[in-house]
A = this chain, B = another copy of it.
C-alpha cells in the first residue's frame, strides 16, 4: 500500500479550500482555459501541457475510492487479519495514517469528511442496500419490540447521558462550568446515535440469529432518525435561548416533529416505491435502464425527504422494501443480478470510504482534550446503554412469545457501536453557538474509537464465548408452502376467537395485494405467486451453480445436470407448482370464508 499512499499525497498537496476548488473547477473553461492558452507570459505552443484543475474533483474522488478498494483488498489478502479484528478498525487506521501524511505535508487535513458528503452521497447507498436486503418477515414480526426499544432507548440514552454530563459539569474543578444544560443535552443526543454501519458490519461477520440481528438493524434504522431530530431541536432551542425564552409551544412543536419526521418519511418512501415499481412494468424493451430506475427513485425519495427535513433514512428504507417485491418480478434476470451486486458494491465502497475518511479527519488541529469530560462521556455511554437495554427489554419481554435471553440483552448492550453519524453531527455544530465545539469533537472521536476498536474487536469472541444462537436460514419451496399454510391457519383461528392481531392484518394486506396492487404494478403474463418466483429464483441459482461447478470438477457437467434432474424437487414444473398453490390457497380461503 505504501506506493499508493505516496500517490495520494501528490493530489493532497495540491488541495485548496473546497469552495475555491469548486469555483475554479466550474469556471475552468470560462477563465482558466483562456489563461492557460492566452494571457500567460509564454504564448508559444508546447508539445506537452498539463491542466490539473480541470480534472481535480473527479480525479481525487476516483483516487479516494481506489485507495479504499485497495485497503479492502489488502485487508482480505492476509487470512489471519479478518479473524482477528473487524475491517472497520483497519480502515480507520489506514485513514488516520493517510491523514497524518497529508497533514504532515500540508499542515491541514483535507476536507473529505464534509457533512453533506456523508449525508448526501455516502450514507444513501448503505441505507438502500440494508433496506433492499432486509428480511421483511422477521422485521415485521418483531416490529413492536423494535419500535419500543429503538425509540425509548434513543430517548433514554440521549437524556440520560446529557443530564449526567450536566451534573458532572457543575463540579468546578473540571473547568466545564460554561457548558449549559442545553449544550449537554445536545451532546447527549449526538453521542447516543448508534451507527447503522459499524454495528451491522460486526453482526454480519458474526452471523448472529435473526431475532437479535433484527433488533440491532431496527435500532440503527429508527435510532438515527430520532437522534437527528433531537439534535436539530436542541440546536434550535440553543439558538432561541440566546434571543428569547423557550415557550411551551416550542416543546410541543418539537414533539410533533417526531411524528412528522417518522411517519412522513415512511409515507414518502412507500409512494416512491410504488411509482418505481409501476415504472418497471414498461421497461421490457429497454431492460438496460431497469437498475437505474431502482437506484434513482430510491435516491430521489431520500433527497426529497431530506429537503423537507423528514427522515431520509426511513424514506429510503420504506421505498426499498416497497419496490423490491414488485420490481424483482418485473425486471430481467440480468437486471436483477446487476441491481443486487451493484447495490452491494456501492454500499461496500461507501462503508469503506466512511471509515477511511473518519480516520483521515481524526488528524487535525480542531481538538480540545479534557480528561474529566471525555472519561465521563465514555462511562455514561456504557452505563446508560446497559441500563436502558435491561430496563426496556425487561418490560417488552413480558409481551413476547420468545423473550430475549440475558445473553441476547448482553450482546445488544455491548453492540452500541458509535460511528460516522455521531462524528458528522459533531462536525456540523455551529461554532458561534458552541464555543467548546472542539471538545465535543474530541469526545465523540474517543467514544467512536473506543467502541469500534475495543468493543468491535471483542464482540466476535464474545458472541462465540456466550454461544449465542447462530443463523441457519435456507429457503425452500417446502418451507414457503408450510409458512403460508400456518399463516392462513393462525388467521383462521384468530377469526374464530374474535381476536385481532398482525396475522389478520397480514392476511388482509395479502388479499388487497393480490386483488389490486399486483395487477397494477406487475407486468401481465408474469408468474403471480411468490412460490413460483421463489422456484424460478432457485432454478436459476442452481443452473448457474451447476454451470460453474461443471468447470471446476473434472467430471462432465452433463452428469450433474442429469443427476440434478432426478432429484424430487426438480420434477415440479411451474405449472404443477401453480396448480398446487391454487388448490391450497383456494381450499384455505373457502374454509375461512365459511
Residues of A within 8 A of B (CB): 18-19, 22-23, 25-29, 33-34, 37-38, 43-52, 54-55, 58-59, 62-63, 65-66, 69-70, 72-73, 76-77, 82, 114-116, 120-121, 232-233, 235-237, 239-240, 243-244, 249-250, 253-254, 256-257, 260, 279, 282-283, 285-286, 288-289, 291-293, 296-297, 299-300, 303-304, 306-309, 333-335, 337-338, 340-342, 344-345, 348-349, 428, 430, 432-433, 527, 532, 536, 539-540, 542-544, 546-548, 550-551, 554-558, 561-562, 564-565, 570-571, 573-576
Contact = CB atoms under 8 A, between A and B. Distances in A.
A308 B43 contact: no
Given A76-B286, A300-B63, A334 B333 contact: no
A565 B571 contact: no
A266 to B, nearest CB: 16
Copies of this chain, complex-wide, total 2
- Chain A interface helix/strand/loop/mixed: helix
Given A26-B116, A29-B114, A334-B337, 20 more contacts: A19-B26, A37-B239, A43-B236, A43-B244, A44-B253, A58-B121, A69-B289, A69-B296, A72-B289, A73-B279, A73-B282, A76-B286, A77-B282, A291-B341, A291-B345, A333-B544, A539-B550, A556-B571, A557-B570, A561-B570
Contacts of A45: 233, 236-237, 240, 250, 253-254, 257
A289 B342 contact: no
A233 B47 CA distance: 10
Contact of A309 (B48, B341, B576): B48
Nearest to A120: B58
Contacts of A47: 253, 256-257, 260
B244 A54 contact: no
A49 B308 contact: yes
Contact of A55 (B38, B50, B306): B306
B548 A540 contact: yes
A194 to B, nearest CB: 23
B65 A296 contact: yes
B561 A565 contact: yes
Contacts of A77: 282
A527 B48 CA distance: 43
A555 B340 CA distance: 30
Contacts of A576: 556
Interface hub of A291, A571, A573 (most chain B Cβ within 10 A): A573
